Amino acid sequence: MKKKINEVLLSCVTAVGMLQTAVYANNPIVQTRYTADPAPMVSADGETLYLFTSHDEPEGGENGAMYVMNDWNLYSTQDMVNWTDLGVPASYHVFEWSKGDAWAIQTVRGFDGKYYLYAPVRGQSSTAIGVAVADRPEGPYKDALGKPLTEKPNFIDPSVYVDYESERAFIVWGNPDPYFAELNPDMVTFKTQPVRINKTTTAFGTADAGKDRETRYEEGPWIYVRNGYCYLVYAGNGIPEDLEYSVCDNDTFLAWVDTLPKADGTEEYAAVEGPWTYGDVLMPTFDSGTFTNHPGPIDFKGNSYLFYHTAKLPGANGFRRSVAVDEMTYNSDGSIEAVVPTTSGPAKLKNLDPYSRTEAETMAFSEGLETDEYYTNTETGAVTDTFTNEDTKNVYVTGVSSGDYIKVANVDFGSGAGTFTASVASAAKGGEIELRLDSKDGILIGTLPVSYTGGNGVWQEKTAAVSGAEGVRDLYLVFKGEERVEDLFDVDHWRFTQKTDEKTLTAINASIDEYKIDTRDGANTANMTVTAVYSDGTSEDVTSQAQVTSDNITYNNGVITGTSYGDAVIDVSYGGVSEQVRLLVKDMETEEKVASLSVEPESVKLVYGGTPADVTVTAVYEDGHTEDVTLKADYTAADSSVVSAGNGTIAPLKVGSTNVTVSFKGRLGEAKQAVIPVTVTSNMIINGDLETGSTEPWVNYYSTLSVEDEGGNKILKVSDRVSDEEWEQGTANGAHYTFGSELQTGKTYRYSARLKYTEGPDTRDFAMVFWNGWQKYFDDTSWGDEYGGYNLQTVTAAKGEWVTFSGTVTIPEGADLSDEFALGFVTTWVADPTAENDLMDYYIDDVTFADMDAEDPVATEDPGSSEEPDKPLTTVSKAERIGGNIVLTTTASEIITDKVLHVALYDENDKLVRYMQIPTSASEKTAYVVFEDNDSAEYAKVFIWDSIGQMTPSADAETVEIHKIHI
């Protein structure tokens, strides 16, 4: 199984109507996996275009990995719109001497009718080019030589041109220098001694100014002859790469080849001048998402195309690429017009016939699913483990989840379709295939139920009636079933039949809503529906009229009851047409009784006005297996005014705390529960969150984070602020807090924090800053630029003393708020920072970032809690333990303008265990604080007054009201 590419978010082409004259495909042309390095080839009869690609594994670009490439893929088309996945023709394991790296290949048809695959792989000591041979484009391939054709560092990207009339073949390869040789007619040995082609400006043009190179050639050469001209197309001009070409007339090219020395079997490759003259840029650099490109020019059915690669699929990067194609235009003088990349791709060449077998892996576009393959012996039909010349390769669609779909473009239904039949296999409950026109939410023309067939690889043809499918339309196969199930069923192929005027019973469809039952009450029944399918596109429910026979079960008007354990093969017939369905009858006591529920995360913190939290609920059954029951469980919020909960989502409604109880019952046994403590706060950073002794959620950036104790109060120490020599911005190294989607443009937030340092100069400037991925200079006050950064406030700190940041910030509309948007603390930027004066350790505490617009609840008064009720400013406070947190609410009798909320927590021995100072905003009556409970706090003292810094109010404090609140 391949790792799935989830949620293909590319923009789809507007749904085409019956009257639309131009119909287009989507780029990238493959969505089921990451593909790169396109190598097109036209079949001998000219009717099919084959496309070989390399395959970027999803691990590429992660955890220090670069290209992770183990095999090659093959696709075919006859219309340039719908592409059929032909599986994996070969991997680097074909070459026993290879150690890995299945990079850019080209496959050609040799003079003997066999197919030769030229592959750069990692040899024993360096890169090497091997040659594999097969009888069919899809393989199987075997090593043609048992050793490399040639082996030297950077011998990659081979391209072969075959002149069938003269029986001459030529190969070119190499990075950063191009190499060339003529091949013998056997396609696996050199006829001429390979030479290195000098990279002159005449042949390869002059590099752009500022490039550390003289000429434009980089890698990925592709050689071919067209209309009397010999072309060399290649990736050029360094990183990022564009596509360029050089050209000469074919007679000049052949004459030049004839001057080359004959092969002598050595690896001494002389440097020579080539015959080509630089042409122009074929495809300029563009916002492709990747720093490489690779050309694959081809003519097919009278049209010219250029294949290339981008990084336009979800999760893509420079090491996870995707092949695309667009049309190209030649001029009469041999020059080529620049190709502009599109998302639409080329126009269709013909319509698709739905009345012949169509492979399920034929698609113009898809979302979410995967493909895989298996092999069957051509004579016996037996499934085999390995692919040989005696076998047939079967590629099929798998990894199907509810909501995934396949688009098949330009399906010509003619006067109308009456039925749809698909070969499917299911190892569980299955689901259904919705047949829709022109979009995944378009007109529904039919629905095919799919239930348990007996397991993966047990294929069964199922049929459904179709109505409303006429003319040329885009067909969408939309898969439905239980949510959060990744393998509903597999699909191998499908076909329609034309609608008839007469109503003839052509098939029945029997489907069951369970795939396993017990004989015990509560889990011993399943429901079966039997549908009669007629040739005129109509259908009817004949469940009550169908004849059903089977061991292990009894049947009564659609209800199946398990009577004895075993695999039940159920024969269903109606009107002389029959079908078999399957069902497991087994002891399910341990596998259907829930032992416990687990939830992830175990507790939830939400921001009022922010995004809901997603939770995953997993049922652990008595036999040890687990099931994701997120969408099946029941959710109950103890206080439904604080949050709403259901279907794996907990959404904030107002500031407060509550518990959400999740309950789920298996088909047997009792329901089990799990409780999720939920806190909704207006704070995005909850006063540093350090009292547990953990540095989370702070992360280090070229620094070390630790928690220290200061008078019973936990503070965050930031040390080892290593200078990044490449960027020389070591002053920005330190502690980061990364925001997700909580931040919103157009909102005003208040912030505060305390900071101090103890070593270094007497004073030092520090800034509280935002940045988007990149480090920020302390004086950066820009929004929406390429960095998306902002300097909140700069303060001058005195050594050994706490300094306070405090203020508000409004995030403007249009600001860039990506998932990497982070809060941090920096020292003033200098070109050459020193450890003593610039990269000193520092401490932070009580960091708050609060939504000014949050509506905090009005607290109920705690009787007897106020010790000084006669102050002009009166407040009410309460505190409670909820879900591992202490939730403190203080509400004033009037708006708290420019005051400071002081909170002191004490243990049972009256020892101070936590102290916080939170500046209030000018628009709130309520201050709301949530902090981790370390189980030592017995009561809190809360007061509001004008000053910050001291831990007790002075005698002349203008506004003081102390509350002693027991927790």
- H/E/C letters for each residue in 585-596? ECCCHHHHEEEE
Asked if residue 491 has pLDDT above 80, the reply is yes
- According to the model, what pLDDT value does residue 163 have? 97
Asked if residue 808 has pLDDT above 70, the reply is yes
The residue among 847 and 520 whose pLDDT is bigger is: 520
Contact 788, 776 (CB under 8 A): no
- Mean pLDDT on 379-397: 91
- According to the model, what pLDDT value does residue 878 have? 65
DSSP class of residue 100 equals B
Across the chain, mean pLDDT equals 86
pLDDT band at 914 (very low <50, low <70, confident <90, very high): low
Residue type, 109: R
* pTM value > 0.85: no
The residue among 315 and 96 whose pLDDT is bigger is: 96
Token couple for 120: 């750069």
- Mean pLDDT on 372-399: 92
- According to the model, what pLDDT value does residue 22 have? 38
Burial 477-490 (b: 16+ CB within 10 A, else e): bbbbbeeebbbbbb
DSSP class of residue 14 equals P
Q: How do residues 399-454 score in pLDDT, each as one tens digit? A: 999 999 999 999 999 999 999 999 999 999 999 999 999 999 999 999 999 999 99
Contact 811, 783 (CB under 8 A): yes
Q: Based on the number of CB atoms within 10 Å of its own CB, is 204 exposed (0-12), middle (13-18) or buried (19 or more)?
A: buried
Token couple for 854: 């949050």
Domain 875-966: give its CATH superfamily. Answer: Immunoglobulins (2.60.40.10)
- According to the model, what pLDDT value does residue 52 have? 99
- According to the model, what pLDDT value does residue 210 have? 85
- According to the model, what pLDDT value does residue 608 have? 73
- According to the model, what pLDDT value does residue 903 have? 72
- Mean pLDDT on 197-212: 94
Asked if residue 198 has pLDDT above 90, the reply is yes
Return left, alpha or beta for 684; rule: phi > 0 is left, psi -120 to 50 is alpha, else beta.
alpha
In CATH, the architecture of 34-327 is 5 Propeller (2.115)
Q: Based on the number of CB atoms within 10 Å of its own CB, is 517 exposed (0-12), middle (13-18) or buried (19 or more)?
A: buried
pLDDT band at 695 (very low <50, low <70, confident <90, very high): confident
- According to the model, what pLDDT value does residue 728 have? 45
pLDDT band at 927 (very low <50, low <70, confident <90, very high): low
Asked if residue 730 has pLDDT above 90, the reply is no
CATH of domain 589-681: 2.60.40.1080
Distance in angstroms (rounded) separating the CA atoms of residues 697 and 735: 10
Continuous segment of H or E residues that includes residue 204: helix 201-204
Distance in angstroms (rounded) separating the CA atoms of residues 749 and 444: 48
The residue among 608 and 549 whose pLDDT is bigger is: 549
Token couple for 428: 């569980």
Asked if residue 884 has pLDDT above 90, the reply is no
Distance in angstroms (rounded) separating the CA atoms of residues 886 and 935: 10
Asked if residue 913 has pLDDT above 50, the reply is yes
- According to the model, what pLDDT value does residue 893 have? 58
Share of residues in the chain with pLDDT > 70 (%): 80
Looking at CATH, the fold of the domain delimited by 358-585 is given as Jelly Rolls (2.60.120)
Neighbouring CB atoms inside 10 A of 328's CB total 21
Q: Which residues contact 249 (CB under 8 A, 6 or more apart)?
A: 228, 229, 230, 334
- According to the model, what pLDDT value does residue 474 have? 97
pLDDT band at 772 (very low <50, low <70, confident <90, very high): low
Asked if residue 691 has pLDDT above 70, the reply is no
- According to the model, what pLDDT value does residue 785 have? 46
Contact 183, 167 (CB under 8 A): no
Asked if residue 468 has pLDDT above 50, the reply is yes
Asked if residue 726 has pLDDT above 70, the reply is no
Give SS3 for 801: coil
Interstrand relation of 358-359 and 490-498 (parallel, antiparallel or unpaired): antiparallel
Work out the widest C-alpha separation in the chain, in whole angstroms: 108
Which range has the top average pLDDT, 61-65, 435-439, 683-687? 435-439
Asked if residue 398 has pLDDT above 50, the reply is yes
- According to the model, what pLDDT value does residue 798 have? 95
- According to the model, what pLDDT value does residue 412 have? 98
Q: How do residues 19-58 score in pLDDT, each as one tens digit? A: 233 344 489 999 999 999 999 999 999 999 999 999 999 8
- Mean pLDDT on 219-225: 98
pLDDT band at 951 (very low <50, low <70, confident <90, very high): very low
Asked if residue 708 has pLDDT above 80, the reply is yes
Share of residues in the chain with pLDDT > 90 (%): 65
Asked if residue 233 has pLDDT above 70, the reply is yes
Domain 684-851: give its CATH superfamily. Answer: Galactose-binding domain-like (2.60.120.260)
Nearest 10 degrees: CA dihedral of 646, 649, 654, 658? 70
Of 390, 365, 362, residue with least CA distance to 377: 390
Q: Partners of 715 in the beta sheet?
A: 708
Asked if residue 690 has pLDDT above 70, the reply is no
Of 902, 936, 857, 903, residue with least CA distance to 657: 857
- According to the model, what pLDDT value does residue 242 have? 97
Token couple for 467: 């109505």
Give SS3 for 346: coil
Helix, strand, coil share (%) of the chain residues, nearest 5: 5, 45, 50
Distance in angstroms (rounded) separating the CA atoms of residues 312 and 293: 13
Distance of alpha carbon 292 from the chain centroid: 20
- Mean pLDDT on 823-840: 85
Distance in angstroms (rounded) separating the CA atoms of residues 285 and 239: 9
Cis before 314 (ω within 30): no
Q: Where are the domains of the chain?
A: 34-327, 358-585, 589-681, 684-851, 875-966
Residue type, 294: H
The answer to whether 589-681 and 875-966 have equal CATH topology is yes
Of 530, 412, 400, residue with least CA distance to 464: 530
Angle, alpha carbons 135-103-360 (nearest 5°): 55
Q: How do residues 606-636 score in pLDDT, each as one tens digit? A: 877 677 999 999 999 999 999 999 999 999 9
- According to the model, what pLDDT value does residue 783 have? 52
In this structure, of 96-105, 231-240, 793-802, 866-875, the range with the lowest mean pLDDT score is: 866-875
Contact 78, 48 (CB under 8 A): yes
Q: How do residues 300-333 score in pLDDT, each as one tens digit? A: 999 999 999 999 998 888 999 999 999 999 999 9
